[in-house]
Amino acid sequence: MTLSAHLIVERPGFRLDIDLTVAAGEVVALLGPNGAGKTTALRALAGLTALSAGHIDLDDRPLHTVATERRPIGMVFQEYLLFPHLSALDNVAFGPRCHGASRSDARRGAAVWLERVGLTEHADARPRQLSGGQAQRVALARALAVRPRMLLLDEPLAALDAHTRLEIRSQLRRHLADFDGAVVLVTHDPLDAMVLADRLVVIENGAIVQQGEPVEVARRPRTDYVARLVGLNLYRGVSADRQVTVGDVSFSVAESFDGPAFVAFSPAAVALYRTRPDGSPRNLWKATIEGIERHGDNVRIHLEGPITASADVTPAAVADLDLTPGQEIWAAVKATETHAYPA
Protein backbone atom coordinates (compact mmCIF):
# COMPACT_ATOMS: atom_id res chain seq x y z
CA MET A 1 0.00 0.00 0.00
CA THR A 2 1.51 3.33 -1.01
CA LEU A 3 -0.62 5.75 0.98
CA SER A 4 -2.30 4.88 4.22
CA ALA A 5 -3.77 7.79 6.12
CA HIS A 6 -6.18 8.59 8.88
CA LEU A 7 -6.93 12.28 8.53
CA ILE A 8 -8.50 14.15 11.42
CA VAL A 9 -8.81 17.91 11.14
CA GLU A 10 -10.89 19.79 13.67
CA ARG A 11 -12.07 23.34 13.29
CA PRO A 12 -14.85 25.19 15.09
CA GLY A 13 -18.06 23.75 13.69
CA PHE A 14 -16.33 21.23 11.45
CA ARG A 15 -14.61 17.90 11.85
CA LEU A 16 -12.95 15.89 9.13
CA ASP A 17 -12.32 12.26 10.02
CA ILE A 18 -11.55 9.90 7.16
CA ASP A 19 -9.46 6.80 6.50
CA LEU A 20 -7.79 6.79 3.14
CA THR A 21 -5.65 4.18 1.45
CA VAL A 22 -4.33 4.49 -2.07
CA ALA A 23 -2.24 1.83 -3.83
CA ALA A 24 0.67 2.64 -6.12
CA GLY A 25 -0.66 3.63 -9.53
CA GLU A 26 -4.20 3.93 -8.19
CA VAL A 27 -6.30 7.06 -8.74
CA VAL A 28 -8.73 7.83 -5.94
CA ALA A 29 -11.28 10.60 -6.32
CA LEU A 30 -12.62 12.40 -3.28
CA LEU A 31 -16.12 13.39 -4.29
CA GLY A 32 -18.54 15.44 -2.27
CA PRO A 33 -20.60 18.59 -2.01
CA ASN A 34 -19.04 21.99 -1.25
CA GLY A 35 -17.82 22.23 2.33
CA ALA A 36 -17.70 18.45 2.77
CA GLY A 37 -13.98 18.56 3.58
CA LYS A 38 -12.48 17.28 0.31
CA THR A 39 -10.03 20.13 -0.10
CA THR A 40 -9.19 20.08 3.60
CA ALA A 41 -8.28 16.40 3.24
CA LEU A 42 -6.05 17.18 0.26
CA ARG A 43 -4.37 20.08 2.07
CA ALA A 44 -3.78 17.83 5.06
CA LEU A 45 -2.06 15.29 2.80
CA ALA A 46 0.12 18.11 1.43
CA GLY A 47 0.88 19.42 4.91
CA LEU A 48 -0.70 22.79 4.18
CA THR A 49 -3.31 22.13 6.86
CA ALA A 50 -2.15 20.56 10.10
CA LEU A 51 -3.69 17.30 11.31
CA SER A 52 -5.46 17.54 14.66
CA ALA A 53 -4.85 13.80 15.07
CA GLY A 54 -4.33 10.73 12.96
CA HIS A 55 -1.46 9.87 10.68
CA ILE A 56 -0.26 9.83 7.08
CA ASP A 57 2.06 7.04 5.94
CA LEU A 58 3.54 7.00 2.48
CA ASP A 59 5.52 3.92 1.48
CA ASP A 60 5.48 2.89 5.16
CA ARG A 61 7.16 6.10 6.27
CA PRO A 62 5.34 8.70 8.37
CA LEU A 63 4.59 11.82 6.34
CA HIS A 64 2.61 13.85 8.87
CA THR A 65 5.78 14.69 10.82
CA VAL A 66 7.42 16.10 7.69
CA ALA A 67 7.12 19.72 6.52
CA THR A 68 5.33 20.38 3.24
CA GLU A 69 8.52 21.20 1.34
CA ARG A 70 10.07 17.87 2.32
CA ARG A 71 7.09 15.70 1.36
CA PRO A 72 7.52 13.75 -1.89
CA ILE A 73 4.34 15.20 -3.34
CA GLY A 74 3.19 17.09 -6.38
CA MET A 75 0.09 19.23 -6.20
CA VAL A 76 -2.10 20.80 -8.86
CA PHE A 77 -4.21 23.60 -7.43
CA GLN A 78 -7.68 24.52 -8.51
CA GLU A 79 -6.58 27.81 -10.07
CA TYR A 80 -3.18 26.30 -10.97
CA LEU A 81 -1.26 29.07 -9.15
CA LEU A 82 1.46 29.29 -11.76
CA PHE A 83 3.99 31.88 -10.64
CA PRO A 84 3.03 34.94 -12.69
CA HIS A 85 6.58 36.32 -12.84
CA LEU A 86 8.10 33.15 -14.31
CA SER A 87 7.81 31.67 -17.79
CA ALA A 88 6.06 28.34 -18.28
CA LEU A 89 9.47 26.68 -18.47
CA ASP A 90 10.75 28.29 -15.28
CA ASN A 91 7.51 27.39 -13.50
CA VAL A 92 8.16 23.74 -14.31
CA ALA A 93 11.86 24.09 -13.46
CA PHE A 94 11.05 25.65 -10.07
CA GLY A 95 10.53 22.34 -8.26
CA PRO A 96 13.67 20.59 -9.54
CA ARG A 97 15.67 23.73 -8.67
CA CYS A 98 14.35 23.55 -5.10
CA HIS A 99 15.38 19.91 -5.01
CA GLY A 100 18.96 20.84 -5.79
CA ALA A 101 19.15 20.51 -9.57
CA SER A 102 21.43 22.97 -11.33
CA ARG A 103 19.78 25.73 -13.30
CA SER A 104 20.56 24.17 -16.67
CA ASP A 105 19.58 20.64 -15.60
CA ALA A 106 16.31 21.91 -14.16
CA ARG A 107 15.46 23.78 -17.34
CA ARG A 108 16.40 20.85 -19.54
CA GLY A 109 14.17 18.55 -17.48
CA ALA A 110 11.38 21.12 -17.56
CA ALA A 111 11.59 21.28 -21.35
CA VAL A 112 11.06 17.51 -21.50
CA TRP A 113 7.97 17.81 -19.28
CA LEU A 114 6.56 20.63 -21.36
CA GLU A 115 7.08 18.50 -24.45
CA ARG A 116 5.24 15.65 -22.77
CA VAL A 117 2.20 17.86 -22.18
CA GLY A 118 2.51 19.29 -25.69
CA LEU A 119 3.52 22.84 -24.80
CA THR A 120 7.07 23.11 -26.13
CA GLU A 121 6.22 26.15 -28.21
CA HIS A 122 4.83 27.93 -25.13
CA ALA A 123 7.92 27.44 -22.96
CA ASP A 124 8.72 31.16 -22.85
CA ALA A 125 5.13 32.31 -22.32
CA ARG A 126 4.11 33.94 -19.06
CA PRO A 127 1.15 32.31 -17.30
CA ARG A 128 -1.18 35.19 -18.18
CA GLN A 129 -0.53 34.52 -21.88
CA LEU A 130 -1.66 30.89 -21.57
CA SER A 131 -5.20 29.64 -22.06
CA GLY A 132 -6.92 27.80 -19.22
CA GLY A 133 -6.18 24.40 -20.73
CA GLN A 134 -2.53 25.29 -21.32
CA ALA A 135 -2.14 26.61 -17.77
CA GLN A 136 -3.64 23.36 -16.46
CA ARG A 137 -1.07 21.34 -18.40
CA VAL A 138 1.80 23.51 -17.18
CA ALA A 139 0.53 23.05 -13.62
CA LEU A 140 0.45 19.28 -14.13
CA ALA A 141 3.96 19.29 -15.62
CA ARG A 142 5.19 21.43 -12.72
CA ALA A 143 3.75 18.99 -10.18
CA LEU A 144 5.15 15.92 -11.96
CA ALA A 145 8.57 17.47 -12.58
CA VAL A 146 9.59 16.92 -8.94
CA ARG A 147 9.01 13.16 -9.47
CA PRO A 148 6.57 12.86 -6.57
CA ARG A 149 5.44 9.62 -4.95
CA MET A 150 1.97 11.06 -4.49
CA LEU A 151 0.10 13.41 -6.80
CA LEU A 152 -2.63 15.64 -5.37
CA LEU A 153 -5.12 17.30 -7.70
CA ASP A 154 -7.61 19.89 -6.40
CA GLU A 155 -10.53 20.30 -8.82
CA PRO A 156 -8.09 20.08 -11.74
CA LEU A 157 -10.76 20.72 -14.37
CA ALA A 158 -13.14 23.06 -12.56
CA ALA A 159 -11.68 26.26 -14.01
CA LEU A 160 -12.04 25.13 -17.64
CA ASP A 161 -14.86 25.75 -20.09
CA ALA A 162 -16.92 22.77 -21.22
CA HIS A 163 -15.10 22.15 -24.51
CA THR A 164 -11.56 22.46 -23.14
CA ARG A 165 -12.58 20.34 -20.22
CA LEU A 166 -13.46 17.38 -22.42
CA GLU A 167 -10.07 17.50 -24.12
CA ILE A 168 -8.02 18.11 -20.98
CA ARG A 169 -9.91 15.38 -19.11
CA SER A 170 -8.80 12.72 -21.57
CA GLN A 171 -5.21 14.05 -21.60
CA LEU A 172 -5.16 14.09 -17.81
CA ARG A 173 -6.42 10.52 -17.78
CA ARG A 174 -3.49 9.49 -19.97
CA HIS A 175 -0.93 11.28 -17.78
CA LEU A 176 -2.42 9.76 -14.63
CA ALA A 177 -2.18 6.31 -16.21
CA ASP A 178 1.55 6.89 -16.80
CA PHE A 179 2.12 7.95 -13.19
CA ASP A 180 3.19 5.12 -10.90
CA GLY A 181 2.61 6.78 -7.51
CA ALA A 182 -0.60 7.33 -5.60
CA VAL A 183 -3.05 9.90 -6.97
CA VAL A 184 -5.67 11.67 -4.90
CA LEU A 185 -8.07 13.82 -6.85
CA VAL A 186 -10.67 16.18 -5.43
CA THR A 187 -13.73 16.98 -7.48
CA HIS A 188 -17.39 17.76 -7.17
CA ASP A 189 -18.06 16.68 -10.75
CA PRO A 190 -19.20 13.04 -10.93
CA LEU A 191 -18.16 12.76 -14.57
CA ASP A 192 -14.57 13.83 -13.83
CA ALA A 193 -14.50 11.33 -11.01
CA MET A 194 -15.92 8.47 -13.08
CA VAL A 195 -13.56 9.08 -16.01
CA LEU A 196 -10.37 9.73 -14.05
CA ALA A 197 -10.61 7.59 -10.94
CA ASP A 198 -10.18 3.89 -10.21
CA ARG A 199 -12.04 4.32 -6.95
CA LEU A 200 -14.44 6.92 -5.59
CA VAL A 201 -14.52 8.06 -1.99
CA VAL A 202 -17.63 10.12 -1.28
CA ILE A 203 -17.32 12.57 1.59
CA GLU A 204 -20.19 14.39 3.24
CA ASN A 205 -19.85 16.53 6.37
CA GLY A 206 -16.28 15.44 6.93
CA ALA A 207 -16.94 11.70 6.87
CA ILE A 208 -16.86 9.00 4.21
CA VAL A 209 -20.41 7.99 3.28
CA GLN A 210 -19.59 5.62 0.47
CA GLN A 211 -16.63 4.29 -1.47
CA GLY A 212 -16.01 1.83 -4.22
CA GLU A 213 -15.43 1.49 -7.92
CA PRO A 214 -17.16 4.12 -10.02
CA VAL A 215 -19.55 1.56 -11.56
CA GLU A 216 -20.49 0.23 -8.15
CA VAL A 217 -21.10 3.70 -6.71
CA ALA A 218 -23.13 4.71 -9.75
CA ARG A 219 -25.26 1.58 -9.55
CA ARG A 220 -25.77 1.46 -5.82
CA PRO A 221 -25.83 4.97 -4.34
CA ARG A 222 -26.13 5.07 -0.58
CA THR A 223 -26.97 8.72 0.08
CA ASP A 224 -29.28 11.26 -1.52
CA TYR A 225 -26.24 13.28 -2.59
CA VAL A 226 -24.71 10.35 -4.48
CA ALA A 227 -28.08 9.39 -5.94
CA ARG A 228 -28.53 12.93 -7.26
CA LEU A 229 -25.00 12.90 -8.68
CA VAL A 230 -25.58 9.72 -10.62
CA GLY A 231 -29.16 10.68 -11.49
CA LEU A 232 -31.15 8.01 -9.68
CA ASN A 233 -34.21 8.04 -7.42
CA LEU A 234 -33.14 6.49 -4.12
CA TYR A 235 -35.22 5.32 -1.13
CA ARG A 236 -34.51 3.58 2.09
CA GLY A 237 -36.99 0.94 3.20
CA VAL A 238 -37.36 -2.58 4.49
CA SER A 239 -36.99 -5.64 2.28
CA ALA A 240 -38.92 -8.89 2.69
CA ASP A 241 -40.22 -11.44 0.20
CA ARG A 242 -38.84 -9.71 -2.88
CA GLN A 243 -40.64 -6.60 -1.81
CA VAL A 244 -39.23 -3.34 -0.41
CA THR A 245 -41.61 -1.18 1.60
CA VAL A 246 -40.91 2.54 1.56
CA GLY A 247 -43.52 4.26 3.71
CA ASP A 248 -46.88 3.68 2.04
CA VAL A 249 -45.40 2.45 -1.22
CA SER A 250 -44.07 -1.02 -1.85
CA PHE A 251 -41.75 -2.01 -4.67
CA SER A 252 -41.44 -5.44 -6.23
CA VAL A 253 -37.80 -6.15 -6.74
CA ALA A 254 -35.72 -8.90 -8.29
CA GLU A 255 -33.30 -9.20 -5.36
CA SER A 256 -34.18 -11.45 -2.47
CA PHE A 257 -32.98 -10.51 1.01
CA ASP A 258 -34.54 -9.42 4.31
CA GLY A 259 -33.87 -6.28 6.35
CA PRO A 260 -33.09 -2.62 5.76
CA ALA A 261 -32.71 -1.94 2.07
CA PHE A 262 -32.10 0.72 -0.55
CA VAL A 263 -34.16 0.75 -3.67
CA ALA A 264 -33.00 2.77 -6.67
CA PHE A 265 -34.41 3.41 -10.11
CA SER A 266 -33.82 5.78 -12.96
CA PRO A 267 -36.20 8.71 -13.59
CA ALA A 268 -36.64 7.28 -17.08
CA ALA A 269 -38.13 4.11 -15.58
CA VAL A 270 -41.07 6.04 -14.11
CA ALA A 271 -44.28 5.94 -16.14
CA LEU A 272 -47.10 8.45 -15.53
CA TYR A 273 -50.87 7.84 -15.89
CA ARG A 274 -53.85 10.19 -15.62
CA THR A 275 -56.06 7.40 -14.25
CA ARG A 276 -55.15 4.47 -12.06
CA PRO A 277 -53.77 1.72 -14.30
CA ASP A 278 -55.18 -1.79 -13.92
CA GLY A 279 -53.23 -4.62 -12.36
CA SER A 280 -50.84 -4.89 -9.45
CA PRO A 281 -50.92 -2.13 -6.83
CA ARG A 282 -47.20 -2.61 -6.33
CA ASN A 283 -44.72 -0.07 -7.65
CA LEU A 284 -47.62 2.33 -8.01
CA TRP A 285 -48.38 5.50 -6.14
CA LYS A 286 -50.42 8.65 -6.42
CA ALA A 287 -48.28 11.78 -6.76
CA THR A 288 -48.62 15.53 -7.16
CA ILE A 289 -46.62 17.33 -9.83
CA GLU A 290 -44.34 19.84 -8.10
CA GLY A 291 -42.39 21.09 -11.06
CA ILE A 292 -41.66 20.55 -14.73
CA GLU A 293 -38.34 21.36 -16.40
CA ARG A 294 -36.37 20.52 -19.51
CA HIS A 295 -33.77 17.82 -19.02
CA GLY A 296 -31.71 17.14 -22.12
CA ASP A 297 -34.10 16.00 -24.85
CA ASN A 298 -36.70 14.97 -22.30
CA VAL A 299 -38.78 16.67 -19.65
CA ARG A 300 -38.15 16.05 -15.98
CA ILE A 301 -41.23 15.93 -13.76
CA HIS A 302 -40.71 16.46 -10.02
CA LEU A 303 -43.23 14.43 -8.05
CA GLU A 304 -44.33 14.85 -4.43
CA GLY A 305 -46.56 12.49 -2.49
CA PRO A 306 -45.82 9.43 -0.34
CA ILE A 307 -42.33 9.49 -1.90
CA THR A 308 -40.42 12.26 -3.66
CA ALA A 309 -39.34 11.21 -7.12
CA SER A 310 -38.17 12.47 -10.51
CA ALA A 311 -39.67 11.14 -13.72
CA ASP A 312 -38.26 11.71 -17.20
CA VAL A 313 -40.86 11.70 -19.96
CA THR A 314 -40.85 12.80 -23.58
CA PRO A 315 -42.23 16.24 -24.54
CA ALA A 316 -44.92 14.35 -26.49
CA ALA A 317 -46.01 12.59 -23.30
CA VAL A 318 -46.23 15.91 -21.49
CA ALA A 319 -48.60 17.14 -24.21
CA ASP A 320 -50.61 13.86 -24.32
CA LEU A 321 -51.08 13.76 -20.58
CA ASP A 322 -51.55 17.53 -20.39
CA LEU A 323 -49.23 17.73 -17.38
CA THR A 324 -49.33 20.89 -15.27
CA PRO A 325 -47.83 21.71 -11.86
CA GLY A 326 -50.14 20.97 -8.97
CA GLN A 327 -51.92 18.21 -10.87
CA GLU A 328 -52.47 14.75 -9.32
CA ILE A 329 -51.11 11.82 -11.27
CA TRP A 330 -50.40 8.08 -10.96
CA ALA A 331 -46.76 7.01 -11.11
CA ALA A 332 -45.46 3.50 -11.65
CA VAL A 333 -42.11 1.72 -12.03
CA LYS A 334 -41.55 -1.68 -13.61
CA ALA A 335 -40.18 -4.24 -11.19
CA THR A 336 -37.43 -5.11 -13.64
CA GLU A 337 -36.20 -1.51 -13.58
CA THR A 338 -35.81 -1.21 -9.83
CA HIS A 339 -32.66 -2.21 -8.09
CA ALA A 340 -32.56 -3.20 -4.42
CA TYR A 341 -29.55 -3.72 -2.17
CA PRO A 342 -28.97 -4.01 1.58
CA ALA A 343 -28.71 -0.70 3.47
In the complex, the residues that contact other proteins under the rule CB under 8 A are: 46-48, 67-71, 73-75, 77, 79, 81, 83-85, 94-95, 98-99, 142-143, 146, 152
Cα–Cα distance between 23 and 305 in angstroms, integer?
Answer: 46
**Which residues lie closer than 8 Å to 108 by C-beta, 6 or more apart?**
none
b/e per residue 232-250 (b: at least 16 CB within 10 A): bbbbebebeeebbebeebb
By beta-carbon proximity to other proteins, the closer residue of 96 and 214 is: 96
**Closest distance to other proteins from the beta carbon of 59 (Å):** 17
Q: Given the complex with other proteins, which of 176 and 303 has the nearer CB atom?
A: 176
Minimum distance between the CB of residue 297 and other proteins, rounded to whole angstroms?
Answer: 41
In whole angstroms, how far apart are CA 122 and each of 115, 125, 133, 167, 317?
10, 5, 12, 18, 53
Q: How far is the CB of 153 from other proteins (least distance, A)?
A: 12
Closer to other proteins by CB, 94 or 251: give it: 94
Whole-number minimum distance, CB 115 to other proteins, in Å? 20
Q: Minimum distance between the CB of residue 38 and other proteins, rounded to whole angstroms? A: 17
- Residue 151 near residue 144 (C-beta atoms within 8 A): yes
- Considering beta carbons, is residue 93 or 287 the nearer one to other proteins? 93
